[in-house]
Amino acid sequence: MPSPALNAALGTLGGLAAAALVAWPLAIWYEVRKCEKPKHTVLRTLGQKKGWFGKVRPAAEVRLYSPYLLAEVTLSGGNMDKALSDGFRQIAGFIFGKNVAADGASSKVAMTSPVTLEMGGDSQKIAMTSPVTAEMGPGNELKVSFIMPSQYTKDTLPRPVNPNVVIKEMPARTMAALAWHGKPPREAEVQAKEAELLELLGEAGLKPKGPVHCWQYDPPFQWRWLRTNEVLFEVEDGATATS
C-alpha cells in the first residue's frame, strides 16, 4: 500500500501534469494572438448566428484588406491535407533560413497568422505571422501561402532559395469571411462553410469573385475550440453599406 508521502507526491505530479495540459494550449493561443495579422477594416457584417453562451454575433464579415506580401507554393494532384503539409514545409523552410537576405545579413523572418490555402547570399530568418492561407484553384490546383510581416517590401524581403516558393504582392481587396472554431478542416467542411458564405452573400446582394480561400490561424494540435478557421471570397467593390 503506498505511503501517505508517496500518495502526496503522486497527487502533486498529477496536478502538475494537469496544469501543464491546460497551460500549454493557452500559451500557444496567446503566442498566436501576438502574431501579426493582415491589416483590415470591417466594412459590414452579414447575418447572425448564436455563439458561445447563446450570444448572438455576426455570421460573417466583409473586410477591406490593406496590401500585403505573401510567400506562396502552388501544388496539384493532392488533397487539401497533403497540400497544406507540403506547402507549409516548403514555405517554413524559406521562413527559417532557406533564403538569400537582401542586405547580406543573417536573421529570421517573423511568423505571421494565418497560413492560407487558395483552392481552385546569407540566409535570413523571417518572423512568423498568422494565418496560414489556402486557395482552391481550378481542377486540383491548391495554393498554400504565408502572409509576410508588414516590415518588408518586395525589395527588402529575403529571396527564396526554393524555386517553388514565389513572392507575390497582393493589392488592397475586399473579402467576405466566415469564421468558426474547430479542428483543421477537411475538404467537405470547407465546402459546407463555402456554401454558407455564398448564401449570406446572395442574401446581401454581394457577388463573389475568384476562388474560395481557407485561412487557419492556429497550429493543428491546438484545442479545437481555441482554433480559428475561416473561408473567404473576394467580393466586388461597393460592399461598403452597413448591414
Looking up residue 220, the CATH number of its domain turns out to be 3.20.80.10
pLDDT of residue 123: 62
Measured distance CA(26)–CA(81) in Å, rounded? 25
Q: Which three cell numbers stand for residue 196?
A: 454558407
Categorize the per-residue pLDDT at 239 as very low, low, confident or very high, splitting at 50, 70 and 90: low
**Domain that includes residue 127, residue range:** 35-235
> Which amino acid would we find at residue 238?
G
Measured distance CA(217)–CA(227) in Å, rounded? 7
pLDDT of residue 181: 92
Q: Is residue 25 part of a domain?
A: no
Q: Is residue 60 part of a domain?
A: yes
Number of domains within the chain: 1
Q: Is the pLDDT of residue 100 over 80?
A: yes
Beta carbons within 8 Å of 242's beta carbon, 6+ residues apart: 44
Q: Residues 148, 131: contact at Cβ < 8 Å?
A: no
Categorize the per-residue pLDDT at 5 as very low, low, confident or very high, splitting at 50, 70 and 90: low
Burial class of residue 120, CB neighbours in 10 A (0-12, 13-18, 19+): middle
Q: What percent of the chain has pLDDT over 90?
A: 44
Q: In whole angstroms, how far apart are CA 219 and each of 183, 204, 212, 223, 228?
A: 10, 33, 21, 9, 10
Choose among 179, 114, 103: nearest CA to 148: 114
pLDDT of residue 178: 98
Beta strands in the chain (DSSP E): 40-50, 56-65, 68-75, 99-100, 109-112, 115-119, 126-129, 132-136, 142-147, 159-160, 166-170, 173-181, 208-216, 228-235
Q: Is residue 116 part of a domain?
A: yes
Q: Is residue 2 part of a domain?
A: no
Q: Is residue 4 part of a domain?
A: no
21-80 confidence digits (pLDDT tens):
445 455 554 455 667 889 999 999 999 988 777 789 999 999 999 999 999 999 886 678
Q: Residues 165, 73: contact at Cβ < 8 Å?
A: yes
* 182 vs 54, higher pLDDT: 182
Q: In whole angstroms, how far apart are CA 204 and each of 43, 45, 231, 236?
A: 13, 10, 17, 12
pLDDT of residue 130: 73
* 207 vs 78, higher pLDDT: 207
Choose among 234, 195, 189, 227: nearest CA to 211: 234
Choose among 210, 184, 197, 212: nearest CA to 117: 212
Q: Is residue 173 part of a domain?
A: yes
pLDDT of residue 121: 47
Q: Is residue 183 part of a domain?
A: yes
117-140 confidence digits (pLDDT tens):
676 645 666 666 678 788 887 767
Choose among 126, 97, 94, 124: nearest CA to 112: 126
Q: Is residue 148 part of a domain?
A: yes
Average pLDDT, the chain: 80
Measured distance CA(66)–CA(56) in Å, rounded? 28
Per the confidence metrics, is the pTM higher than 0.85?
no
Measured distance CA(76)–CA(100) in Å, rounded? 27
137-166 confidence digits (pLDDT tens):
776 788 999 999 999 999 999 999 999 999
Which stretch of 35-49, 89-103, 201-215 has the lowest confidence by average pLDDT? 89-103
* 154 vs 240, higher pLDDT: 154
Q: Is the pLDDT of residue 189 over 80?
A: yes
